[in-house]
Amino acid sequence: MKIVIVGPGAMGCLFAAFLSRQRSREHEVWLLDKDASRAAKLGRQGIDVEGIAGSWHADVRSTADPRDIPAADLVVVCVKSYDTKNAIACIKPLITEDTAVLTLQNGIGNIEIIGEAIGPDQVIGGVTSLGATWLEVGRIRFAGKGETIIGRIDGKTSVQMRMIRELFNKAGLETRISQDIKGFLWSKLVVNTGINALTAVTRLPNGSLLEYEGSRRILRESVTEAVKVAKRKRIKLLYDDPLAKVESVCEATATNVSSMLQDVLRRKRTEIDFINGVIVRFGQELGISVPANAMLVSLVKVIESSYEKAVGAHQ
């Protein structure tokens, strides 16, 4: 099986490292980057992983040119959601009618974007609870163990999905198949809605959001709004008390730096449009008031557009 991981961020590198450790004659793992110099460095130096599983190293095949890679059996998309469309256009030559494309991205909308480009039957949605922090090129921190859930929007289970489950589990990536991947995607969205943007604005780790009345109040308001939207859309969430779930995630990942805060600290574009922005858009369509999410979207966009003007930006 030829496996291509698209995107060398924290999660892409984590999956590439785990799968590359299982390298054999049967499996060939590639990491595809849009930056040629970074791809070359990853190919030379590999990936160093530190954190909850100790410190270890994985050699990886890496390139910025899809022509270097034979046709893929499995493509795992780990790019930021705003790069999905361009990434799929880039890798289209690797995709045959037998290729499975698995998205392990944040937010809502990626399955639809990929499906429009290659056809919906080849797209598999995914949600992972694994935690990873990008430290520098080729170096990541494995910050939290968790399950990876995969499934098709239509609820069907394919042979390809079973093969992916077996492959990931053998590599040490606990994985199972769900017939309701939409419920998992929206359940994760609700959690991210309460945590990610708020950490980006406050620059606090996840657990600290619960320590201050102001941040705790905004968290509750944004989650409540997201749940209202999900209910109106008849999405079945995985937990009876979404607010309690979000707060428990904060506690369980107390020291974790969210992906959106990582983006802000690195002065990168965030995925706000695919997380809180989704709640704002659906809220407007459904006539549901979502002021907390609208405020968080506005604040994060201000932060994004003012990196160079922020106090201390040039220190």
pLDDT digits (tens, 9 = 90+) for 201-257: 999 999 999 999 999 999 999 999 999 999 999 999 999 999 999 999 999 888 888
Proportion of the chain above pLDDT 90, given as a percent: 86
Does 294 have pLDDT greater than 80? yes
Q: Which residues are catalytic?
A: 188
Q: What is the pLDDT, as a whole number, of residue 126?
A: 97
Interatomic CA distance for residues 210 and 24, integer angstroms? 46
Average pLDDT, the chain: 93
- What homologous superfamily is domain 182-305 in, according to CATH? N-(1-d-carboxylethyl)-l-norvaline Dehydrogenase; domain 2 (1.10.1040.10)
Looking at residue 146, its pLDDT comes to 87
Band of pLDDT at residue 274, cut at 50, 70 and 90:
very high
- CATH number belonging to domain 2-179: 3.40.50.720
CB atoms within 10 A of CB 105: 28
d(CA 291, CA 294): 5
Give the model confidence (pLDDT) of 155-180 as tens digits.
Answer: 999 999 999 999 999 999 999 999 99
- Chain centre distance of CA 223: 19
Query: Residue ranges per domain, the chain?
Result: 2-179, 182-305
Name 94's Cβ contacts closer than 8 Å, sequence gap at least 6. Answer: 4, 66, 69, 70, 71, 72, 75
pLDDT for 141: 92
Q: What is the pLDDT of residue 246?
A: 97
Q: Looking at residues 72-97, what average pLDDT do you find?
A: 94
Evaluate if residue 69 carries a pLDDT over 70.
yes
8-state DSSP, 1: -
